[in-house]
Amino acid sequence: MKVFALTLVPFVWTASLMAGAQAEGSFDRSLAVSGPVDLDVKTDSGGITVTPGSSGTLRVHAILKGQHGWFDSSDVESRIRELERNPPVEQSGNRVRIGYVHDRDLLKNVSMRLEIQTPSDTQLRAHADSGGIRVEGIRGPADCHTDSGGIEIRNIASEVRAAADSGSIHLSNINGPVSAHVDSGGIEATGVSGSIEARTDSGGIRLAQTNPAPIHAKADSGGITVKLAPGGGYDLSIEAESGHISVPEMVVSSGFSRHHVEGKIHNGGPQVTIRADSGSITVE
């Protein structure tokens, strides 16, 4: 029994080291561009960050990490080396595609985090299967989707569209319309100058608008808070099936109850429709 124990311990220790080891790598690319950039970015796992850089140049930094088990370390290592030799970066004029790996097997057990600096005059499409997306300081439009992970977008000069299957969405200082949809997670959109459409199946919603424009917000499970543009006129239609409603002073145009309100703020204006199946609603 003692001999067995002495031989077993080194085996377990060695196997644990092999299982926990990681292969790592990276690649960098610098692309010359002129005029507005059309940027399309994708990663299966690892996340995406897009920030403004110098005019005329787009820079890509990718971080590659592989998590392997006992016997496939060399295979993961070889796939990372192949991605380093042939980075998934394509350019056609000012149209740039990053992360579109033609041989999908190269990404097996390999995460690829993409950090991109692009001229501020950029429109963006970004998709991450697993990992967060962070974008700031570009003109837009910005269209971002993640299957699992949060989205943070700020300081965009035009339209923003964001969708997450699982993860929260945080938007701020958007000079244009906003569309945000989440299956599981909250939505926060503040400093929005255009119309807002926000919907979540499970999670709360908090919105703040700087100029009067239509607002449509719906939460199946979670409360909703909406801060309207100061001094703006709106037409309100609010319904909370389970929860109370709090609204500013307004002219009631039809029924008023604990769970349903319709009316006008000031002389009326853009339509605001808010629905919460389970949760309270506050309008400020």
Tens digit of each residue's pLDDT (9 = 90 or more) over 44-66? 999 999 999 999 999 999 999 98
**Tens-digit pLDDT profile for residues 83-102:** 999 999 999 999 999 999 98
Report which of residues 251 and 89 the model is more confident about. 89
In a 10 Å sphere around its CB, with 0-12 CB exposed, 13-18 middle and 19+ buried, how is residue 255 labelled? exposed
**Euclidean distance between CA atoms 103 and 188, whole angstroms:** 37
Contacts of 238 (CB under 8 A, 6+ apart): 245, 247, 260, 261, 262, 272, 273, 274, 275, 281, 283
Q: Mean pLDDT throughout 55-82? A: 84
Report which of residues 242 and 127 the model is more confident about. 127
**Euclidean distance between CA atoms 222 and 231, whole angstroms:** 28
Helical segments of the chain, H only: 2-20, 73-85
Give the per-residue pLDDT at 10. Answer: 44
pLDDT at 243 over 90: no
Contacts of 131 (CB under 8 A, 6+ apart): 43, 45, 46, 47, 48, 111, 113, 146, 148, 149
| Helix/strand/coil for 125 | strand
Give the per-residue pLDDT at 142. Answer: 98
Q: From residue 210, how far is each of 145, 173, 224, 226, 251 by CA, in Å?
A: 25, 9, 18, 11, 22
Measured from the Cβ of residue 7, the count of other Cβ atoms closer than 10 Å reads 9
What mean pLDDT value characterizes the chain?
89
Q: From residue 192, how far is each of 170, 223, 225 by CA, in Å?
A: 12, 20, 14
pLDDT at 2 over 90: no
**Euclidean distance between CA atoms 171 and 180, whole angstroms:** 9
Q: Mean pLDDT throughout 249-277? A: 83
**Euclidean distance between CA atoms 91 and 89, whole angstroms:** 7
Q: From residue 227, how far is each of 172, 198, 208, 215 by CA, in Å?
A: 14, 14, 5, 11
Report which of residues 163 and 7 the model is more confident about. 163
Measured distance between the N- and C-terminal CA atoms of the chain, rounded to whole angstroms: 74
pLDDT at 283 over 80: yes
pLDDT at 131 over 90: yes
**Tens-digit pLDDT profile for residues 30-47:** 999 999 999 999 999 999
**Euclidean distance between CA atoms 218 and 239, whole angstroms:** 10
Cis peptide before 214 (omega within 30 of 0): no
